[in-house]
Amino acid sequence: MATITKLPSGAYRVQIRRKGRYASETFLRRDDAHRWARQAETRVDQGLAPNKSSVSRLQTFGDLIDLHIADMCEVGKPPRRSKAATLTTLKRDLGKEKIGHLDRQKLIDYGKMRAEQGAGPVTLGIDIGVIKMIITHAAAVHGLDISPEPVDLARVALKRLGLIGKGTERDRRPSTDELNRLFRCFDDNERLTTPMTRIVKFAVATAMRLDEICRVEWSDLDVDRRMLLIRDRKDPRNKSGNDQRIPLFAATGFDAWALATEQARHLGHTNGRIFPYNSKSVGTAFRRACVEVSIKDLHFHDLRHEGTSRLFEAGFAIEQVALVTGHKDWKMLRRYTHIRPEALHRLAASRASFPYGNLAAE
């Protein structure tokens, strides 16, 4: 039987003695004390150890999300931007659901709702994966009596419904006319203080991601060798410490070194970040310009795609392009590139002098 005693502080101490086991917890509210006592006795009857009071207070899926975030922060691994955004979405849509009510059907309904909101097969797959991770973490780390099986069943159902799957390979590249229209739009906008034309050209010249462009510093620039160090570059295997040096050259049609030099003159100094602008603001300015000049279905990330493809069109081999883009898996790099057929004329012309290779070097 459980014994509940009110302490001089006003709190309530619960003590249970059952089947040779003893456990004690303290609560501020009497209702919480009774609830924990019932759960603790049930777990002892099942041959399990009683949960700690902090775990017994977990009622909703939002509580599980908060618990996971707190645990990861405690070990020095807080959620990064993409995972944090997914957790925010899940807490908004499912945070109020009781843990015991988050069954297979609820998760299927959630998947259908997200699909109606515009979430693609890959995004929804990530959502379901994170839900399973949150539940598994609570069960494994804190002993919460909750099973990830409903999540697995919901994933199978959503896959059969075509709502979860591999994403369609994106091959959107801006045309020269589209880029010129964007440049004119940026340059004619007197209220625009961010040097968007320079940033867009730099993105194509280096095949860098937007957050990388807005993060690199002048101290990362090797002036003598014309190299730029990108710290903690995105890598699915390594979340940090994945630093890479890339060359700043003009192989893509835009001169990355000249653009960096132009940016130094624009700022009037070489301290701090090379492009000291908010990446979200840059992305917003890019989308607004696309709307203004009637360019459809073009994302800022497509500029990285464009720069990568231009490197191939310039005649660089896969392993050489990887030294610029940072791809560790060359198969991913093959899927990422879409070379325009007309570029083969330029490659053929550059090799016309040595139609059978460099025989002198053999």
What's the pLDDT score for residue 350? 63
What's the pLDDT score for residue 356? 45
Which residues, in sequence order, are bridge partners of residue 273? 217
Contact of 68 with 155, CB cutoff 8 Å: no
- The two structure tokens encoding residue 327: 């791809």
CA angle in degrees (0–180, nearest 5) for 308-263-227 = 50
- The two structure tokens encoding residue 49: 């150890």
Q: Distance between terminal CA atoms of the chain?
A: 90
CA angle in degrees (0–180, nearest 5) for 93-94-99 = 175
What's the pLDDT score for residue 326? 86
CA angle in degrees (0–180, nearest 5) for 168-171-175 = 150
Contacts of 37 (CB under 8 A, 6+ apart): 2, 4, 14, 16
Contacts of 324 (CB under 8 A, 6+ apart): 206, 207, 246, 247, 307, 308, 311
What's the pLDDT score for residue 361? 40
Q: What whole-number distance in Å separates Cα of residue 46 and Cα of residue 44?
A: 5
Q: What whole-number distance in Å separates Cα of residue 271 and Cα of residue 218?
A: 6
What's the pLDDT score for residue 336? 58
Q: What whole-number distance in Å separates Cα of residue 56 and Cα of residue 34?
A: 11
Q: Mark the ranges of the chain whose per-residue pLDDT is less than 50.
A: 354, 356-362
What's the pLDDT score for residue 190? 92
Q: What whole-number distance in Å separates Cα of residue 132 and Cα of residue 148?
A: 6
Element of type H or E holding 347 = helix 343-350
Does the pTM surpass 0.85? The reply is no
- Cα 118 to Cα 11, 113, 115, distances in angstroms: 49, 9, 5
What's the pLDDT score for residue 299? 95
Q: What whole-number distance in Å separates Cα of residue 183 and Cα of residue 7?
A: 72
What's the pLDDT score for residue 107? 96
Query: For 23-81, what is the HEC assignment?
Result: EEEEECCHHHHHHHHHHHHHHHHCCCCCCCHHHHCCCEHHHHHHHHHHHHHHCCCCCCH
- Cα 205 to Cα 29, 142, 310, 329, distances in angstroms: 62, 49, 9, 21
Which residues, in sequence order, are bridge partners of residue 26? 13
Q: What whole-number distance in Å separates Cα of residue 258 and Cα of residue 262?
A: 6
In the sheet that 2-6 helps form, which strands lie side by side, from edge to edge? Answer: 2-6, 12-18, 21-27
Torsion (CA) 113, 119, 123, 129 in degrees, nearest 10:
0
What's the pLDDT score for residue 357? 44
- The two structure tokens encoding residue 71: 């645990």
CATH annotation of 176-350: 1.10.443.10
The distance of Cα 121 from the centroid of its chain, to the nearest Å, equals 16
Residue 22, classed as helix, strand or coil, is strand
